[in-house]
Amino acid sequence: MKTAEVVIVGGGIVGSSIAYHLTEAGCKDVLVIERETAQGKGSTGKSMGGVRAQFSTPISIQMSLYSIPFYASFDQRLGFPADYRPQGYLFCATNDRHLAYLRANYQKQIELGLKNVRLITADEIRGMFPQLRADDILGGSFCSTDGFVDPYSAMIGFMSRAADHGATLWKHTAVTDIQRDALGVTGVETTRGLVATRKLVNAAGPWAAEVAAMAGVDLPVQPLRRMLVPTEPFDEFPHTAPMIIDMSTGFHFRPEALGLLLAWNDPEETPGFKTEFEPGFIEKILTHAADRVPVFENLSVNPKRAWAGLYEMTPDHHPIIGEASDVPGLFFANGFSGHGVMHAPATGKIVSDLVLSGRTDLVDVSLLSFNRFAEGRMIEETAVL
Ligand SMILES: Cc1cc2nc3c(=O)[nH]c(=O)nc-3n(C[C@H](O)[C@H](O)[C@H](O)COP(=O)(O)OP(=O)(O)OC[C@H]3O[C@@H](n4cnc5c(N)ncnc54)[C@H](O)[C@@H]3O)c2cc1C
């Protein structure tokens, strides 16, 4: 029978980062099990690749304070590219409530040590991007070290480096059951046979609840469809632009190749494993786009290039990270609620610390425990795009 010191279910960016951090910490006997024939077919390959530290809760900010410098030095550290582009995130407030919210977040971000964030005036925004309709913009916040990465490349970099240091990746292999005894996890059933292990990490992305259910745990992680619309080449908006967020509608966009990538959180979307792109979304998003940026009337879009993927949502929009109290040896790294790429480096470090020593200095991880829901300790993150 195959044995491994640590088994990770899921070879997306989160499982790959955990494998990397474990092997860096000296734990070589790591097996990653991925049911698809290739990595990246889950949420990671569908992501917009945005990375930001402009959050509203200290723990989300702290996760970014580890992760963004990590991405900035990814190529040197790992010898693989992550394509980090520090073009920033610009939040544009259109009412006093938004402005007060950005101010309060800014205060927390500065107190926690974020250096490159600043509040900016409406005039500055107009000066930076005269293409925006700014009659209702009251001000905003901008952080120059926020930006974008290539999630697929980062995932491959993490896994390749982990494999160089001893980790094994099984593709085209599904975990079908979790075995336990009185002391906790003893192994997993897979489509390649039984694997014995005392340490199992659930990194199954939107399918996390299915994997947790194999151990009898009811994990509150729900899949929620998100759609992205790339445009054809467009040169009437600078390609050096940051991610720009119109807080009046939630519409946001960033440069992508010779065009733009458009995103909007449709409030009518309902949870479920829906991964087909809905053509009617294009008209909705282009209406928001042209409303905020009048030259976007001239955008052209090929619906065949648009796509949909799944966010893994938790009730308070924070991940669930840590060991299951009822199932010793089962660790969660789930429910990133739209932030799994930007928080993958921190998650890898935290989970590796917990698996190997039972504790971490990076954050107060008790805030992210599964038990917070039963104990009424939810910590709502509201800066979710
Ligand atoms: C449209 C869209 C835009 C996004 N934009 C951003 C963004 O700008 N910034 C950001 O940080 N995040 C963003 N996200 C979220 C981010 O993509 C996810 O949080 C992140 O990719 C989660 O990574 P993961 O490794 O946990 O999950 P996944 O990439 O889904 O990987 C999980 C893997 O587990 C495998 N698996 C599942 N069950 C089993 C099983 N039983 N046995 C074996 N393998 C199994 C799956 O095949 C899959 O490959 C976006 C997501 C979407 C959909």
pLDDT in tens, 335-374: 999 999 999 999 999 999 999 999 999 999 999 999 999 9
Is the CB–ligand 1 distance for residue 203 below 6 Å?
yes
Return the percentage of the chain with pLDDT > 90, whole number.
97
* Confidence grade of residue 382 (pLDDT, cut at 50, 70, 90): confident
Q: Is the pLDDT of residue 383 over 80?
A: no
- Beta-strand ranges (E) seen in the chain are 2-3, 6-9, 30-33, 50-51, 89-93, 117-121, 139-143, 147-148, 168-170, 175-181, 184-190, 193-196, 200-202, 222-230, 243-246, 252-256, 259-263, 307-313, 320-323, 330-334
CA distance 111 to 118: 13
Q: Is the pLDDT of residue 53 over 80?
A: yes
Q: Is the pLDDT of residue 9 over 90?
A: yes
Contacts of 24 (CB under 8 A, 6+ apart): 165, 352
Looking at the chain, how many residues does it have?
Answer: 385
* Confidence grade of residue 119 (pLDDT, cut at 50, 70, 90): very high
b/e burial code for range 237-268 (CB count within 10 A of at least 16 → b): beeebbbbbbbbbebbbbbbeebbbbbbbeee
- Mean pLDDT on 21-32: 97
β-partners of residue 178 are 188
Which residue matches tokens 């610390």? 353
Separation of 385 CA from ligand 1 center, angstroms? 16
Q: Whose CA is nearest to atom 45 of ligand 1?
A: 10
* Confidence grade of residue 93 (pLDDT, cut at 50, 70, 90): very high
For the stretch 55-79, pLDDT in tens is: 999 999 999 999 999 999 999 999 9
In the prediction, which pLDDT does 381 show? 79
* Confidence grade of residue 385 (pLDDT, cut at 50, 70, 90): confident
**Parallel/antiparallel/unpaired status of strands 175-181 and 184-190:** antiparallel
Is the CB–ligand 1 distance for residue 211 below 6 Å?
yes
Is the CB–ligand 1 distance for residue 169 below 6 Å?
no
